[in-house]
Structure 1
Amino acid sequence: MNENISNDIIKHYLHTLTQRAWLAPLMYLLSGGALLGLSTNLAKLAGDIQLPALAFLFWSIAGAALILLVLAAFRRNLPPVNARTIEYYAISGLLGVAGANLLFFSAIPHVGAGFVALIITLPPLLTYVGALALKMERFQVLRAAGVISALAGAVTLAFHKLSAPDANYLWIFLALIGPVLLAIGNLYRTLRWPEGVSSDALAPGMLIAAAIILLSVGFLPGFSLNVPTERSLPFLLITLQAMVFAGQFLLLFLLQKSGGPVFLSLLGSVGAVVGVPVAIVL
C-alpha cells in the first residue's frame, strides 16, 4: 500500500514538472514575441522622425547591453571573456542582432513595419530545415505541419507585397535576407553554446559585440551615428527601444536554452501577431 502511494506521488511530481517545463518556454515565447512586435513599430516611428536606422539601432543596442550588464553584475554573473566566448558573442551579435536588425530597421521606411513584422515569421521554416539537415531535430509530421501552416499566411502576404505596383524590389530583397541571418543565428547559438555559461551572462556579451559591430559600421561612408538633438522624442524612442531590446534578448536566450532553436524561431510568428495590428493602428 505504502509503495503504491509513493509511486503515485512520484508520478504526480513528474507530471507537474513536465507541465512546468512547457510553461516556462511558452511564457518566454509569448513575452519575447510581443517585445519583438513592439520593436518593429518603434523602428517605424524612429524612421518617421528622420532618425537614421543605424543611429537608432546602435544607441538602443548599447543601452540594452548596459542594462543587461548592470543586471549581470548585480547577480555576480558577468559575461566570461575567453577565446570561445568571444567567438560566440561576435558571431551571435553579427547574425542575430547587428546584421538582421540593421537590415530590418533600414528597410522599414521603404517597405513598412507591417511587412517586416510579417517576414520575421519566416525563420521557423528555415530553422526547422536547418535543424533537420544538421540532425538537431527528428522529422515529425505534426511539427512540420504546424510550422508550415503558421507561415502560409505570411508568405501569401509577402508575395502580395511583391506584386504591388509601387513595390521596392531592392529593399524587399534586402529585408528578406534578415530571416536567413536569424535562422542561421538560431542554429549557431544552440550548436556553439559555451558549456556552463548561463543565459543572463551570454545576452549582454552578445549585445556588446553587436554594439561594437554597429559602431564600426558608423565609420563607413554614408552612415551616421548622430542623433538629432532639437527634440526629446528621438531620445525617448531610443530609451524605450533599449528597454525592449534588453527584455527581448534576455528572453531569447532563456527560450533558446529551454525550448531549442525551432521553438525559438517562432518568436517571429508571435511578433507578427502583435506587430502587424499595432502597425495598422499607428
Structure 2
Amino acid sequence: MSDVSKQQTSHNKHAWLIPFTCLLVGGALIGISTNLAKYANEIGVTPLAFLFWSITGAAIILLVVAIIKKELPPLTARSFEYYFVAALVSVAGSNLLLFSAIPHVGASFVALIVSLPPLLTYLGALMLRMERFNIIRALGVAAALTGAGVLAVRKFSAPDASIVWILLALCGPVLLAVGNIYRTLRWPDQASPNALAPGMLIAAALLLFMCSALPDFSVHVSLTGWLPFGVIVVQAGLFAGQFLLLFVLQKTGGPVLLSLLGSVGAVVGVPVAIFLQGENPPAGLFLGASLIALGVALVTWGGVKMSAKIVKK
C-alpha cells in the first residue's frame, strides 16, 4: 500500500472524531444554556428578551468570525429561504417555547426532553432516504427515546404537573427534529458552516424582534445592575459556540447524529439543574439518563461501523 493510500485510510478511520467531539461539546453547551435561561428568568429577564439579545450577540460574534475567515453569508434567494426557515424551526420557535416553559416545568425537564428529536429525525431521514437503516443506530435512537419517555411520563403523573406547559415544551423537540431534516436537505451549495451560522442567527433575531410587537411581549432588559447584562453576554458566547458546532456536526455527522445533541445536553443539564440550581431530581432520573447515554454510545458506534465498511469498499 502506498504512503498516500495509508494516509487516506488513516484519515477515514479517524474521521468520526470531529463529529463526535462536536456532539459532546455542543451538547454540553445546550445543557448549560438551558440552566442559564432559568437563572435569567429568576433575575427578571423575560424569555423573549433573554433569547433575542443572546441570539443577537451570538450572531455578531459569528459574523465577525466569518469576516475574519472571509466566509461571509451568501446573499441569494436560496440562502435567504434557508436562513429564515432554519431560524424559525431550529432557533426562534423551538427555543422560545423551551425557554418559556422552563419556569413552569423546570430546567431539568426541558434539558431532558430536548433529547426527544432523535426518533423523529431518524424516521424522517429513513422516509426521505437520507439515512440507510442500521440496526445498531436504530437501537441507540430507541434507547435514547425510551429514556426520555420514562422521564416525560413520570412528569405527567406528578400531582403539580402543568399539562399545558408540558405539551408546549414537547412541541420544541418536534421543531428541532424538523430543523435537523430541513437544514440537511436545503443546505446551500458550496456554503460553509462559518458562513451559514451567522445568517441563520441574524434571521432568528429578526423573527424574535417581530414577536415583541405582540401584546405582553417585550425585548426590554433593565440595565440597573450588571447581572442581567453579564448573563446575556455569557449566553451569547454559549450560543455562538453551540450553533457553530451544530453546523459543523450537520456537515460531518448527518442529521441523526446531530439530533443527539439534545441527549448529551440532558446528561449535562440535569445535574447542573439539580446540584447548582436546587431542583428536585426528576422521577426515574437514573433509568432515563442511563438509557439516553446508552443511546448516544450506540448511535456513535453504529456510525463508526458504517464508515469503516465504506472505507473497506
**TM-score class, shorter:** over 0.9
| Residue in 1 that maps onto 2:19 | 25
Instruction: Give secondary structure in 1 for the equivalent of 2:15.
Output: helix
Q: CA deviation at 1:8?
A: 5.8
Alignment counterpart, residue 14 of structure 1, candidates 8, 17, 26: 8
- Which of 48, 54, 61 lines up with 1:54 in the alignment? 48
Give the CA deviation at 1:55.
0.1
Q: Provide the C-alpha distance between the structure 2 equivalents of 1:221 and 1:174, rounded to a whole number of angstroms.
A: 19
Structure 1 counterpart of 2:71: 77
Structure 2: give runs of 5+ residues left out of the alignment. 277-313
Q: Which residue of 1 aligns with 2:128?
A: 134
Post-superposition CA distance 1:93-132 (Å, at most 9, x none) = 0000000000010000000000000000001111001101
The 10-residue stretch of structure 1 (233-242 or 148-157) with the greater mean CA deviation from structure 2: 148-157
Tell me how far apart the structure 2 counterparts of residues 15 and 168 of structure 1 sit (CA, whole Å).
53
Name the counterpart of 1:200: 194
How far off its partner does 1:141 sit? 1.3
1:169 shift after superposition = 0.5
Amino acid at match of 2:120: L
Please state how far the C-alpha of 1:228 moved relative to its aligned partner.
1.7
1:233 to 222, 227, 232: 227
Q: Distance in 2 between matches of 1:57 and 1:70?
A: 20
SS in 2 for 1:21: coil
- CA distance in 1 between partners of 2:4 and 2:71 (Å): 34
Match of 2:175 among 147, 171, 181: 181
Distance in 1 (alpha carbons) for counterparts of 2:275 and 2:224: 27
- CA deviation string 1:62-117 (max 9, x = no partner): 00000000111111111011111000000000000000000010000000000000
Unaligned runs of 5+ in 1: 1-6
Matched residues in 2 for 1:80 and 1:13: separation?
34
Over residues 177-209 of structure 1, what are the superposed CA-to-partner deviations in whole Å (9 max), with x where a residue is unaligned? 000000000000000000011010000000000
Query: What is residue 203 of structure 2 aligned with on the other side?
Result: 209
Question: 2:113 matched to 1:119?
Answer: yes
1:250-279 Cα deviation digits (max 9, x unpaired): 000000000000010010011011100011
Superposition deviation, residue 12 in structure 1: 3.1
2:252 to 258, 267, 272: 258
> 1:44 & 1:107 partners in 2: Cα distance?
10
What TM-score results when the alignment is normalised by the length of structure 2? 0.87
AA partner of residue 126 (structure 1) = L
CA distance in 2, matches of 1:170, 1:100: 16
Partner of 1:166: 160
Count of matched residue positions in the alignment of Structure 1 and Structure 2: 276
TM-score w.r.t. length of structure 1: 0.96
Out of 95, 99, 102, the position equivalent to 2:96 is: 102
Q: Percent identity?
A: 63
The aligned residue for residue 271 of structure 2 is 277
Distance 1:107 1:138 in 2: 35
- For 2:37, the equivalent position in structure 1 comes to 43
Matched residue, 2:213: 219
Q: Return the alpha-carbon distance in structure 1 between the equivalents of residues 13 and 230 of structure 2.
A: 40
Partner Cα distance (1:110, 1:104) in 2: 10
CA distance in 2, matches of 1:184, 1:247: 22
Q: Please give the root-mean-square deviation of Cα atoms over the aligned residues, in Å.
A: 1.0
CA separation in 2, counterparts of 1:276 and 1:75?
Answer: 36
